[in-house]
Amino acid sequence: MKIITNSEQETFALAYDFASQLNGGETLCLIGDLGAGKTAFSKGLAKGLGVEKIVTSPTFVLMKNYIAKAGNINKLAHIDAYRLTSGQDLEAIGSSDYINDNNCVTIIEWADRVRNIWPDNCIEINFKSLEGDEREIEIKK
Ligand SMILES: Nc1ncnc2c1ncn2[C@@H]1O[C@H](COP(=O)(O)OP(=O)(O)O)[C@@H](O)[C@H]1O
Ligand SMILES: [Mg+2]
């Protein structure tokens, strides 16, 4: 599924709506250049999963964890792999506990850098900056 959004708000809303399709146990692998909208998407998804805290980019830590409230889903793990070249550091901080948790949704920004930890059931989402504020967002299942 390919969608074009024309503002940060539209990307947020897309993710907010997409959250309602999740059941828990999903890993969303977000790929795209700096400024392509990965964090904007993550914020909308978090809101859609009932996360009350403001979600900010975890650039200076590898992972931030939030309490979610969406049926079965009670946790959101938000990972930023920007500075990584493999998933080893993530495994060291216990990322697989979250990835394998059926009550958790895991988002990985810059997921192309840590392909070795992608679970079989991951949902790949590609972000492309087009003209101005246009972003092409492709959700692959
Ligand atoms: N259609 C759009 N979707 C998402 N962000 C957009 C869009 N148009 C402009 N922007 C801007 O682009 C930037 C996206 O930043 P961010 O979500 O942090 O990107 P990333 O996490 O991919 O580096 C923000 O400054 C946002 O306001
Ligand atoms: Mg980001």
Residue closest via CA to ligand 1's atom 25 equals: 35
- Condensed to tens digits (0 to 9), the pLDDT of residues 124-136 reads 999 999 999 999 9
For residue 5, pLDDT over 80 is answered with yes
- Condensed to tens digits (0 to 9), the pLDDT of residues 53-104 reads 988 887 778 999 999 999 999 999 999 999 898 888 888 888 999 999 999 9
Instruction: Report which bound ligand comes closest to the CA of 136.
Output: 1
11-15, 20-24, 47-51, 61-65, range with the lowest pLDDT: 61-65
Q: Which atom of ligand 1 is nearest to the CA of 135?
A: 1
| 21: its two tokens | 């399709």
Ramachandran sector of residue 129 (left: φ over 0; alpha: ψ -120 to 50; beta: rest): beta
Q: Is 34 in the pocket of ligand 1 (CB under 6 A)?
A: yes
Task: Give pLDDT, residue 140.
Answer: 95
- Radius of gyration, CA atoms only, the chain: 14
Q: Is 136 in the pocket of ligand 1 (CB under 6 A)?
A: no
Task: Give pLDDT, residue 99.
Answer: 96
- The H or E element containing residue 4 is strand 2-5
Task: Give pLDDT, residue 61.
Answer: 84
Ligand 1 pocket: which of 9, 10, 11, 14 to mutate (most atoms within 8 A of CB): 11
Q: Which atom of ligand 1 is nearest to the CA of 109?
A: 21
Q: Is 6 in the pocket of ligand 1 (CB under 6 A)?
A: yes
Residue closest via CA to ligand 1's atom 18 equals: 39
Q: What CATH code is assigned to 2-140?
A: 3.40.50.300
**CB contact burial 116-141 (16+ within 10 A = b; e otherwise):** ebbeeebbbbbbbeeeeeebbbebee
Q: Which atom of ligand 1 is nearest to the CA of 36?
A: 22
- Condensed to tens digits (0 to 9), the pLDDT of residues 36-56 reads 999 999 999 999 999 999 888
